[in-house]
Structure 1
C-alpha cells in the first residue's frame, strides 16, 4: 500500500470514529440517566471508558496523519541538529587532550583566552556544545486547556425558519379535576394558559484568510486547526448570549448551604427540573460546604457534565471570565431559556486572487427568556466579608 493510500485510509478511519463519538457520548448519558442498580452504573462507566479510549485513539491517529502528510511533502522532523563544524570539533578535542586532572594548569582555547583549571571553569558544559546537543521539536501544536462546557444542549432549542417570531409557552397547571357523582354533568375545566415568547435572530460571523503556501508548508493540519478554532468561537458565542440571558432573571444572593436549600425548596416551584450552571468561584463555594456530620455535599455524578452533583442537582462549570466571578444559575434551563437556531455555518472556499483559502465561521440564532419563574440568577457573597 502506498503512502497516499495509507493516508486516505487513515483519514477515512478518523472521519468514521469522529462521527461515531457523539452517539457514544449520548449512550453514556442515556445509560446513566436510566441506571437503577450498581450493574447499570457499571455499564455506564464502562461505556464512558470506551468513549475516553476512542478519544485517545482519535488523538493518536491525528498525530499519525500529520506524520504521513509531512512525509508526502518530503519533510522530516529533525531527530538532531547538524554536527559540530570541523573547527569547533578540533577545538573541543584539543581542549580535552590538553586537560590533565592530576595537576593544576591553564589552557588557552582561543587566542588571548586563558582559563583557570577548575571544574566550574574548564569543564565541558552544555552551553559550550550547543551544536552537538540535539533539540527535540514538535510541529503539531497542543491546544491550551480551557473550560469548554456547551450550554446550548441544556436550553430548549427550536428550529427557526424566519428572522423573528413568537413561541407559545404553556404555563404550569395549578387547577385540579372536580369530584362528581355518577352521571352528573361534567364541570368545566380550567382553560390552558399560554405565554408568548418573542425571539429575534442575530447574525454572528467572521472569516480568516490562510495562504496556500502556509497550508502546503505547515507540518500540522493548519486548515483543521483553524476550523476547530472557529467551532470553539461559535460555542463561546452561544454560551455568552445564554449566560447574559441568565443574568436577566430574578437575582438572589447566597452565602450558606441553607440559602441554597431555601431557593430549591421554597422559591423554585417543585414542577421544575433543577440544575446549577456555576462559575468557577461559585463552584468552589459548592465544593467547600458540608452537612451536619462534616461530609461534603458535592458528590461524583457521571450524568453531570462536570462529573459532580449537589443536593440532587447536576452541576455544570463555566469560567469566571465568561459568567463573572461568584455567579450561577439555579433552575430548569430548558424551561428558562429558548434558543432559536436559524443557521450554523462552517465553510471554506478558495480565493484565486490571493492564492489561498478563506475559512468562514458563522451562526444565526436568537436567545430569549421563555419562563422567568424557571430559575434564578445567584451571586455568592462571602459571609466573612
Structure 2
C-alpha cells in the first residue's frame, strides 16, 4: 500500500472523529484534534508530491530503456563524426542521456568526444604497448590548466598536537605544481568505401595507429623528465646500482624502486654473472620474460627512445614519486573529407590531452656504469 493511501485513510478517520465530537457537543476535544488533522494534511501533501516525482522518474527510465533497445551508441557516434543524419530514435536517445558519458558532446575544438566504453578500448590497447604512464602518479583533471600543492622536504613524522601549543611553520615547505594540458593528435586516413558502412568499428580501426603514436609520445615526455634527474652515481660494475639503492634514495622509495634502462644497458646487465656463474638478475615470477635486480623490477625501453653514450645508464627509484601525469581523460575525433577528396579517403583527426610534470627530483637517480675491459 502506498503511504499516500494510508495517510488519506488516516485523514478521513480524523475528520470523522472530529465530526462525532462536534455532534456530541465536545467542542474542546474536537478543537484539540485540529493540530493533528493539519499535520496529516501537510504530510499527505509532501508524500503525494514525492510519489508523483518517483512515478515520473520511473516513466522516464522506462522510456530511456525503450530507446536504448532501438539504437546502437557506436552507430550514433559514427554518424556524428561523419556528419550523417540521425534517426528520430537516435536523436531521442542522444537528448535523453544528455550526451556526456554516452554519445559524447561536441568538443570545444569541433571534434566529438569518444564515448567512455570506446575510449577505454583505446586505453586497454595502449597499456599493452609498454606505457610508462602506468608507473607515474596519474592525476585525473577536468580543466586545461591548474595547480596542485605539494609538500617538499617536509616533516617525515606525524605531529603530536598534545605536546605543543603551536606548529612551527618552518617545518613545512610547500610548492605548486602547475599543469597545462596539451593537445596531442594524429591524422588517420580511412577509405571512403569502408566508411560507407555505418556499422564500421571506427574506434577499433584508428586505435592501432593512434594508440602506438600516443604511447610513444607519452613515453617521450616522461623520459625527458627521467633523463633530467639531478643526482648521478658512477661506477665500474653493477655494484653502483646497489650503492644507489642502499644510500642515494630514501629507504621507503628504495623498497618500491624500479630500474629503467635501454636495450643495450639491459643486455649488459643481463649477461653479468656472479662468481659461481649464476646470472645476477632474477626472473620475475609474475612474468618470466621480465627480470629483477635485488627484487626491483627492470623496465626496458627501446634504444631509439633512450639513447646512450659511452656509459651504461640506469635510472633507479620511483617514477610515481618523480612524475605526475595529468590526464584530461578525453579523446576526440573529427573528420576532414576535403583534404583527401582526390584519393577517395577521409582523414580522421584523433586527439588526446595530457601533461607531465616533475614533482620530487630526489625520488630517482641516474647510475652511469663504465665497464672495465
TM-score, normalised to structure 2's length?
0.55
1:312 and 2:301 correspond: no
What's the counterpart of residue 242 of structure 2? 261
Contact 2:155 2:172 in 1 (8 A): no
Structure 2 matches for 1:109-128, cutoff 5 A? none
Paired residue for 2:326? 340
Quote how far apart the aligned CAs of 1:176 are.
5.3
Deviation at 1:296, TM superposition (A): 1.4
Q: CA deviation at 1:256?
A: 0.9
Deviation of 1:320 after TM superposition, in Å, equals: 0.5
Aligned partner of residue 150 in structure 2, secondary structure: strand
Change (3 A) 1:278 1:344: farther
Q: How does 1:270-309 map to 2 (within 5 A)?
A: 270-272=251-253, 273-303=256-286, 307-309=290-292
The whole-number CA distance in structure 1 between the counterparts of 2:133 and 2:366 is 18
C-alpha spacing 1:189/1:286, structure 2 compared with 1 (3 Å):
farther
Q: Secondary structure at the match of 1:149?
A: coil
Which residues of 2 match residues 25-40 of structure 1 at below 5 A? none
Kindly indicate whether the alpha-carbon contact (under 8 Å) linking 2:181 and 2:353 is maintained by their aligned counterparts in 1: yes
Q: Which residue of 2 aligns with 1:232?
A: 212
Per-residue deviation, 1:170: 2.8
Q: More helix per residue: 1 or 2?
A: 2
Q: Structure 2 CA distance, aligned partners of 1:240 and 1:327? A: 17
Any conservation in 1 of the 2:331–2:350 contact (CA below 8 Å)? yes
Instruction: Give 2:188's aligned residue.
Output: 208
On the 8 A contact 1:279/1:318 being kept in 2, the answer is yes
Question: In 2, are the aligned partners of 1:306 and 1:317 still within 8 Å (CA)?
Answer: no
Distance 2:213 2:288 in 1: 20
Q: Shift in Å at residue 345 of structure 1? A: 1.9
What does residue range 64-79 of structure 1 map to in structure 2 within 5 Å? none
Structure 2 partner of 1:366: 355
Give structure 1 stretches of 5+ with no counterpart.
Answer: 1-7, 9-15, 27-146
Q: Is the 8 A contact 1:211 1:356 kept in 2?
A: yes
* Count of aligned pairs: 242
- After superposition, give the CA deviation of every residue in 1:273-315 in whole Å (9 maximum; x if it has no partner): 3001221011112212333443212111144695221111111
The two structures, once aligned, show a CA RMSD in angstroms of 3.9
Q: Flag the 1:165–1:254 CA change in 2: closer, same or farther, 3 A.
A: farther
| Aligned counterpart, 2:224 | 244
Contact kept in structure 1, 2:238 and 2:369, CA below 8 Å: no
